[in-house]
């Protein structure tokens, strides 16, 4: 059991940041794990705030004191993080399969959820950079101490490097890893937003084509020679095996078949939008039906 409060805080913050990074890779971890991980990150963020309650009260008492400029800046960063984690947790619960709510516009909720995650991640990076000395100092406490009979002889073998220079090197190494993970997570989130945007455009296109079909069918003012573009067939709608075009023989025009989702998911339960009405084992939103 770790008795040092600084070590405990370091472990909680590391787990909190690592959980936030992992939450960006939902496709690799599955939706159920993503939801449980999000709930755990939300609980840890609340615990972090409660654990530093005395510091928060102290800053609030002297918030406008000129001598508290640094503490005031730290407080604002922590406040942004608290708002960000609250937004992530609340929107995640609303969209979760636990509640399974019938949302009027799911894409808006998802966009806000992803953007909140990206902004919160950026604020976390700023916080790590501001507290780099504490991070390096606390990290050193986890190192294994020399086990030789003569510690002075062991230390004599180590090249003499100033504490500040060594600390900066350790910080740069750590930030390199943290920034690389954050960039990958951010790119994953941005790609997710682009896929969602493409899916929404596909839905709009299909709806517009359907509306045009209904308008032409109801008007009845066009001649048969203008709309009979092919010979009659027993099937009113045919689909080409080589292309994604669906041709309506009765009304005489073609509609481009576009998938409503680019993932073509075949794993039930990994997506709250999964539906398989034709029973082929793949999501209907990712195929032309």
234-265 pLDDT per residue, tens: 444 444 433 444 444 445 545 556 666 766 67
Residue 87 lies in a domain: yes
Between residues 5 and 166, the one the model is more confident about: 5
Residue 181 lies in a domain: yes
Q: Residue 160 has which token pair?
A: 């003499």
Cα dist from 214 to 110, 220, 275, whole Å: 32, 11, 26
Q: Mutual orientation of helices 163-219 and 106-130 as an angle, nearest 10°?
A: 170
pLDDT(59) > 70: yes
Q: Looking at the structure, do residues 172 and 129 belong to the same domain, yes or no? A: yes
The residue behind tokens 């590391």 is 14
pLDDT at 238: 43
Q: Looking at the structure, do residues 178 and 247 belong to the same domain, yes or no? A: no
Closest to 236 in 3D by CA, of 257, 251, 220, 226 = 251
Q: Is 279 left (phi over 0), alpha (psi -120 to 50) or beta?
A: left
**Cα–Cα distance, 261 to 209 (Å, whole number):** 18
Q: Looking at the structure, do residues 179 and 212 belong to the same domain, yes or no? A: no
pTM for the structure as a whole: 0.67
Q: Looking at the structure, do residues 177 and 238 belong to the same domain, yes or no? A: no
Q: 152 falls in which pLDDT band (50, 70, 90)?
A: low
Tens of pLDDT along 95-145? 998 988 888 888 889 899 999 999 999 999 999 999 888 888 888 888 755
Q: What totals of helices (H) and strands (E) does the chain contain, helices first?
A: 10, 3
Q: 215 falls in which pLDDT band (50, 70, 90)?
A: low
**Cα–Cα distance, 273 to 149 (Å, whole number):** 64
* Longest Cα separation, the chain: 102
**CB burial class (10 A; 0-12, 13-18, 19+) of residue 20?**
buried
pLDDT at 227: 40
Residue 147 lies in a domain: no
Q: Looking at the structure, do residues 194 and 241 belong to the same domain, yes or no? A: no
Closest to 87 in 3D by CA, of 126, 42, 125 = 42
Q: 24 falls in which pLDDT band (50, 70, 90)?
A: very high
> What is the residue range of 45's domain?
5-142+162-201
Q: Looking at the structure, do residues 189 and 127 belong to the same domain, yes or no? A: yes
Q: Residue 146 has which token pair?
A: 């020399």
Residue 178 lies in a domain: yes
Cα dist from 110 to 10, 74, 96, 189, whole Å: 31, 29, 11, 11
Q: Looking at the structure, do residues 45 and 65 belong to the same domain, yes or no? A: yes
Q: Looking at the structure, do residues 16 and 100 belong to the same domain, yes or no? A: yes
Residue 156 lies in a domain: no
Q: Looking at the structure, do residues 225 and 137 belong to the same domain, yes or no? A: no
Closest to 259 in 3D by CA, of 210, 212, 198 = 198
pLDDT(74) > 70: yes
Residue 108 lies in a domain: yes
Q: Using CA of residue 116, residue 118, residue 123, residue 128, what is the dihedral sign?
A: positive
DSSP codes, 89-102: HHHHHHHSTTT---
Residue 191 lies in a domain: yes
Residue 155 lies in a domain: no
Cα dist from 261 to 114, 115, 143, 186, 198, whole Å: 18, 20, 48, 21, 8
Q: Looking at the structure, do residues 179 and 272 belong to the same domain, yes or no? A: no
Domain count, the chain: 2
**Cα–Cα distance, 195 to 252 (Å, whole number):** 32
Using the CB atoms, write b or e for 195-206: b if 16+ within 10 Å. Answer: ebeebeebeeeb
CA atoms within 13 A of residue 253's CA, in its CB half-sphere = 15
Q: Looking at the structure, do residues 269 and 126 belong to the same domain, yes or no? A: no
């Amino acid at each position: 059991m770790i008795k040092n409060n600084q070590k405990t805080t370091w472990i909680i913050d590391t787990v909190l940041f690592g959980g936030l990074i992992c939450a960006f890779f939902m496709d690799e971890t599955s939706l159920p794990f993503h939801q449980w991980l999000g709930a755990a990150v939300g609980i840890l963020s609340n615990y972090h705030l409660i654990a530093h309650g005395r510091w928060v009260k102290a800053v609030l008492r002297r918030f406008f004191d000129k001598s508290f400029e640094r503490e005031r800046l730290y407080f604002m960063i922590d406040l942004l993080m608290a708002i960000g984690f609250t937004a992530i947790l609340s929107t995640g619960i609303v969209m979760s399969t636990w509640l399974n709510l019938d949302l009027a516009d799911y894409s808006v909720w998802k966009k806000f959820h992803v953007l909140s995650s990206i902004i919160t991640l950026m604020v976390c990076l700023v916080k790590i950079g501001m507290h780099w000395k504490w991070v390096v100092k606390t990290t050193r406490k986890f190192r294994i101490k020399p086990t030789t009979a003569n510690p002075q002889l062991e230390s004599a073998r180590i090249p003499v490097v100033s504490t500040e220079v060594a600390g900066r090197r350790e910080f740069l190494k750590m930030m390199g890893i943290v920034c690389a993970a954050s960039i990958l997570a951010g790119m994953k989130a941005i790609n997710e937003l682009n896929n969602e945007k493409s899916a929404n455009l596909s839905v709009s296109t299909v709806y517009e084509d359907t509306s045009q079909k209904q308008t032409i069918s109801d008007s009845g003012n066009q001649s048969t020679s203008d709309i009979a573009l092919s010979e009659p067939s027993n099937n009113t709608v045919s689909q080409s095996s080589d292309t994604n075009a669906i041709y309506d023989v009765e009304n005489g025009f073609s509609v481009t078949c576009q998938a409503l989702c680019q993932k073509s998911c075949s794993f039930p339960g990994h997506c709250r939008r999964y539906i398989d009405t034709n029973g082929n084992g793949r999501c209907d939103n990712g195929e032309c039906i």
